[in-house]
Amino acid sequence: MDVTLHLAQDPEADELLGRSPLAALVGMLLDQQVPMEWAFKGPRTIADRLGANDLDAHEIAAQDPEAFAALLSEKPAVHRYPGSMAKRIQQMCQYLVEHYDGQAELVWKGVADGRELLRRLEELPGFGKQKAQIFLALLGKQLGVQPKGWREAAGAYGEPKSFRSVADITGPESLTKVRAHKQEMKAAAKAAKKA
């Protein structure tokens, strides 16, 4: 993996996301209840605070939970809920150590088809179906991971130029389109709730 992503809209954070499978997974895990850029800048912030150039699943899994939560809580906090996100990141890293020898890319490397990849992503702690489909679409659209049937497994997020999620963000213009789509979806959900 060595591509340029534009999810954090920050060159150093995006560079890490583009070369580090674990950083990309951590960014996706953080992408809830905070702006996308904040979530995807998180992996770079964590690496910096650990004094590292990359994230290491073995190192994160072995961290003292309270110390790791404190690291994410330092100002500026990595997430709106740094304590619970620290726990989720450690759980995911522990899972990667147990099932994939700590190598995040083994989640998708050599996978037979899109359904199998979706299943593997859904098994990651903190990844529900929607998050797994979005990450699958990101893998397919921007990172060249395209097993047979990946678009179908990613659902609507796999559609070309759909601008539904981070999978479609390639720069400021596409970020604006994704934001507009999300606002439309929230407005529609709100209207449906009132009806």
Question: Which pLDDT does position 67 carry in this prediction?
Answer: 97
- pTM comes to 0.92
Q: How far apart are CA 5 and CA 28, in angstroms?
A: 13
Question: Which pLDDT does position 161 carry in this prediction?
Answer: 83
Question: Which pLDDT does position 61 carry in this prediction?
Answer: 97
**Which residues lie closer than 8 Å to 9 by C-beta, 6 or more apart?**
37, 172, 175
**Which residues lie closer than 8 Å to 139 by C-beta, 6 or more apart?**
108, 117, 145, 146, 150
Question: Which pLDDT does position 1 carry in this prediction?
Answer: 58
Question: Which pLDDT does position 2 carry in this prediction?
Answer: 62
**Successive 10-residue mean pLDDT values, the chain, 195 residues:** 80 93 96 90 96 96 97 94 96 98 95 96 96 96 94 94 88 85 82 82
